[in-house]
Amino acid sequence: MHGFAYRSGRCGGFGRQGHMRHRHGMHGGWGPPSRGRRRMRRGDVRAAVLVLLDEGPQTGYGLMSEIERRSDEAWRPSPGSMYPTLAMLEDEGLIRPQPGEGRTPYELTDEGRAHVEEHREELGEPWARSTQGLGEGLELKSLIGQVAAASWQVAMTGDQAQIERGKDVLNEARRSLYRLLADDDVADEE
């Protein structure tokens, strides 16, 4: 059945709430299963690690969280990009793990500090690049959330006539958005 199987709600098929269940978890159907974050180049992860470790020691998890915070949640490196980057920087002699038990904090070596100081301008603030051009997109995302919240209120507290009118409003909004894209396509051709 198109690669989806219910299998006790663990993978594929539809979950108990009627939401499509994807390989990587529940997804309610409001866009792609990603969290809307941008994927950045490996060099950006490297630069972000060096800049943050120049401010003080951090664990890999702490670095991922801090990058996410500084990018206003637009970018969070995955463990699959963070930990190989840490290993590479350690191999280059720019960082080292601090001794201790539990989660391993990393710190810059003297060579790493010199490298950051020498390349400060080009390292910049890599997390800022993740939000470039997203201003209007983030504003639109906020408006989508507001419309969804208002729609939910109508669905939960409205009478039948209000619910029907709400469906009409949402259908017209959907059609208008598609018309907007169609008009852009026509303008691009001219």
Residue 154 confidence class, pLDDT cut points 50, 70, 90: very high
Rounded percentage of the chain residues whose pLDDT exceeds 70: 68
**Average pLDDT, stretch 183-189?**
54
**Average pLDDT, stretch 60-75?**
89
Q: Which of 100, 105, 129 is nearest to 53 (CA)?
A: 105
H-type alpha helices, the chain: 42-55, 60-70, 79-91, 110-118, 120-123, 126-129, 135-157, 160-189
Class of domain 42-129: mainly alpha
pLDDT in tens, 8-59: 444 444 444 444 434 344 444 444 444 444 444 444 899 999 999 999 999 9
What's the pTM? 0.51
Highest mean pLDDT among 14-23, 59-68, 99-108: 59-68
Q: CB of 187 within 8 A of CB of 179? A: no
pLDDT in tens, 76-93: 888 998 999 999 999 999
Average pLDDT value over all residues in the chain: 76
Q: CB of 104 within 8 A of CB of 98? A: yes
